[in-house]
Amino acid sequence: MKRARRNAGAAAHSPAAYLLALAVTAAATGSVWVVRFAQAPVVDARAAGLAAVYALSLAASWAVVRRFAPGSSPVLAPAGLLLAGLGLAMGFRMSGSFSMPLASLVAFPAGVASMLAIVMLFGRGRAGALAAFRWPAWAASVAVVLLVVVAGRRFRGTLFLPGNINPTEILKPLLALFAAGFLARSQEGARKGDPDAMRLLACAALWMVPMAGLLVQRDLGMLVLMGVALVVALYAATPRPYWIVPALAAVPAAIAMFRYTSHGRRRVELWLDPFADETGAGWQILQGLSALYSGGWWGSGVGAGFPHAVPIAASDFIYAAIGEELGFVGCVLLVATYGALFAAGFSAAARARQPFQRILAATLTAFLAAQTLWNLGGVTKALPMTGIPLPFLSRGGSDLAASFVMLGLLIVLSDRAGGKTQEG
């Protein structure tokens, strides 16, 4: 039986999906190089090593996941690496010197290393051991928020540490881990494994402690993501409709934030009428829509568009750059890749053997899905823009690293080859 299970896991993690990710990224990077050499035949040392680093990351990921999480979803790792590889290619293309920024070069291998470390430590049915870290995770999230509030400086409406580092991105896996561990632990001794309303209220109250710091930072986008993830965590923890309370409370809270804070009110005004300041704050939205429109069905080709016309295109508006250079078809394929990633995450939650694993997988996937939908909605003007990056694709070291941490957790949570685990 064990041999059959091991063989099934090996078949599920064949190299085909990883080779596809490498091929897509190589094609995108190759297109950029064609444009680069047409302008000036100069090779940048950091850019030359991009393909090698990415190829090694794919090979290492395949080997580690196949060895330590053979029964995990065959979609998660290849989809995440495919998106990250396309993000590296687009970042290389949109940098003014056609060379990758040092922060992006460090964040990608660091993120992949974190993902693989999680798989090696908690694969093979050891994912339940993560529940023991619920209180350290909560304490770390509070410490990170306090550090940014005390030592941060304001830039583009929110607070960053020196070097424009935003460590609050790590709150997503930390608070997901805390909520899953707290809610699963609270089910012990509860009738039919259903935590009572007071324990759910206690979880929500503890969750709000780092949220107060985010409110001081005026990080409205992160606050929205945290609210969505809390509702999903409560929904995954109990069949009773307790999650309706924070869901209903979040609506007036969001309205108050966007109406009674100058930063939020300005975002809504630009969303409703970007032409009111078409050469100022509304310029980014209008140029992003123009880039999407000019891409047509097939796009201009990677490296042949003009993404620099969109302010901060490499981070907040990378979807507009992709729409211009890959067209509507490329955007559909990109959204389909995200959809496959989210479907695999929620499927891992539905198949989880333990409450902790179910809650954690659902909350992590909710973070990634809500972040993606909000970014795409902001770029396409379906929602107010909040500066939320697109997972795996947008330039930003802390977000990329946090996304890979969440991906590693989802991989071990989806592993069906491991036996039942005990939650600490």
- State the helix-helix crossing angle for 50-68 and 102-122, rounded to 10 degrees: 10
Helix 76-94 × helix 397-413 angle, to 10°: 170
- In 261-396, where does DSSP find H-type helix? 262-272, 283-295, 318-350, 355-379
Residues 53 and 108: their CA atoms lie apart, in Å, by: 9
Q: What confidence score (pLDDT) does residue 98 get?
A: 47
Distance of alpha carbon 219 from alpha carbon 264, whole angstroms: 10
CB count within 10 Å of CB 214 equals 23
Q: In sequence order, what are the beta bridge partners of 154? A: 159
Tell me, what's the pLDDT at 42?
Answer: 61
Q: Among candidates 130, 196, 235, 180, which has minimal Cα distance to 355? A: 180
* C-alpha–C-alpha distance, residues 300 and 303, integer Å: 8
Residue spans of the domains in the chain: they are 2-413
CA angle 16, 20, 22 (to 5 degrees): 115
H or E, element range at 5: helix 2-12
Answering whether pTM is above 0.85, one says: yes
* Cα–Cα nearest to 408, from 366, 364, 369: 364
Span 89-123, pLDDT tens digits: 887 777 654 455 566 667 888 899 999 999 999 98
424 residues of the chain, pLDDT tens digit each: 444 444 444 456 778 888 888 888 877 777 776 666 666 566 666 666 777 888 899 999 999 999 999 888 999 999 999 999 888 888 777 765 445 556 666 788 889 999 999 999 998 888 889 999 999 999 999 999 898 888 767 766 667 776 667 788 899 999 999 999 988 876 654 555 555 667 777 888 888 888 888 887 877 788 888 888 888 888 888 766 665 666 666 666 666 666 666 666 777 777 777 887 777 777 788 888 888 888 888 888 777 777 777 777 777 888 988 888 888 998 999 999 999 999 999 999 999 888 899 999 999 999 999 999 999 988 888 888 777 889 998 876 788 899 999 999 999 999 886 544 444 4
Model pLDDT for residues 136-145, shown as the tens digit of each residue = 999 999 999 8
